[in-house]
Amino acid sequence: MLFQANRHANKSANNWRLFFQALTLSTFAALFSTNALSQEIKLVSAGAGVTELVLALDAADELVAVDSTSYLPKHLATIAKLGYHRMLSAEGIMALSPTLVVGSEVMGPETTLNVLKQAKIEVVKLPSSADEKQLMTNIDTLAQLLKRTDQATQLKQDLHRRLEGLNKQQLSQQQAQPKILFMLLQEGRGARVGGKGTAADTIIALSGAKNIADFEGYKSLSQEGILSLQPDVILLSKRSEQSDAQTDEQTAQALLKEMPLLAHTPAGKNGHIQTLAPQALLGGLGISAIGAAETLAATLLKQDQ
């Protein structure tokens, strides 16, 4: 009797041990599965400024697609390209099974974004950066979403240092600031000049120079109107999905051929016509805009010597 009781007790103990082992394994498997799913990020980035922040946070491996305004280096050429960030297609995005869509504040249309949200895809818009504070907030938001907080710390320090460098550069302390004119060229439309409140105005101000166009937003000006402003430097940008391999000198020659009166401005006479990357004009203050301001400031300082 005693032997049978012991055997029964041992059998029960073994059953309980097997039960707990199975429970532990299943719990671990569930936790592992949940953790793996929670770490999986399949990102769609819509907006040139957003995409450059994604790359700067070393999160390119999370990308499954970008919009047509985004620039990607050659080694990421296999990443899918969507349409313009204001005219995204829900079907095109959902076909990629993303977990996260992050874009500029003008990303849309809203009908597309609502379809994505109903499909349980997280959609986040980042406000356009008008100043350093908003830029840093956007970096923090993106870093939290992409689990790149360490990279965000380094990126913010680097950008803050570059902005401080622009603020300290000597150009802004000169009495006679160079007069800059920004022109946006688009196929099928006349040249437009960028006034106050535009991204070009932000870049010019960061460089320490003066935007000669004192009106708000963009406005079409005739050659005679531009001639009367007598700009020291003309900045050009072409809004096109096609890459432009022209050098600044070739761009200047093409502009003067199309608008010969500009040859009579200080910019035209001295060949001070240079291009501005389209990415620098999207999303407000961002990495490309800071880079463009640094290039402009360096050019102006060199011309002043």
CB 295 within 8 A of CB 286: no
Predicted TM-score of the model (pTM): 0.79
CB 281 within 8 A of CB 199: yes
For residues 248 and 272, what is the distance between their CA atoms, to the nearest angstrom?
9
Over residues 218-228, the mean pLDDT reads 92
Other Cβ atoms less than 10 A from the Cβ of 172: the count is: 16
The structure tokens 């592992």 sit at 32
Q: Where are the alpha helices (DSSP H) in 169-286?
A: 199-207, 223-229, 248-258, 266-270
Long-range pairs of 259-262 with CB within 8 A, sequence gap ≥ 24: 259/191, 259/223, 259/226, 260/223, 261/223, 261/224, 261/226, 261/227, 262/223, 262/226, 262/227, 262/234
Kindly give the pairing relationship between strand 122-126 and strand 100-104. Answer: parallel
Per-residue pLDDT tens over the stretch 112-147: 999 999 999 999 999 999 899 999 999 999 999 999
So what's the pLDDT on residue 248?
76
Over residues 227-247, the mean pLDDT reads 78
Over residues 46-58, the mean pLDDT reads 97
For residues 52 and 70, what is the distance between their CA atoms, to the nearest angstrom?
8
CB 276 within 8 A of CB 200: yes
Q: Is the pLDDT of residue 33 over 50?
A: no
Quote the DSSP letter at residue 280: G
Residue 125, beta-bridge partner list: 103
For residues 150 and 144, what is the distance between their CA atoms, to the nearest angstrom?
10
165 Cβ partners below 8 Å, 6+ apart?
294
Q: Is the pLDDT of residue 174 over 80?
A: no
Over residues 263-271, the mean pLDDT reads 93
So what's the pLDDT on residue 32?
39
At 47, is the secondary structure helix, strand, or coil?
Answer: coil
Q: Which residues of 208-246 are buried (b: 16+ CB within 10 A; e: fewer)?
A: bbbbbbeeeebeebeeeebbebebbbbbbbbeeeeeeee
The H or E element containing residue 135 is helix 132-146
Residue 229: both structure tokens together: 């402003």
Q: Which amino acid is at 104?
A: S
So what's the pLDDT on residue 26?
47
The band of 261, judged by pLDDT with boundaries at 50, 70 and 90, is: very high
At 71, is the secondary structure helix, strand, or coil?
Answer: coil
For residues 13 and 9, what is the distance between their CA atoms, to the nearest angstrom?
6
So what's the pLDDT on residue 37?
44
Kindly give the pairing relationship between strand 189-194 and strand 218-220. Answer: antiparallel
Q: Is the pLDDT of residue 256 over 50?
A: yes
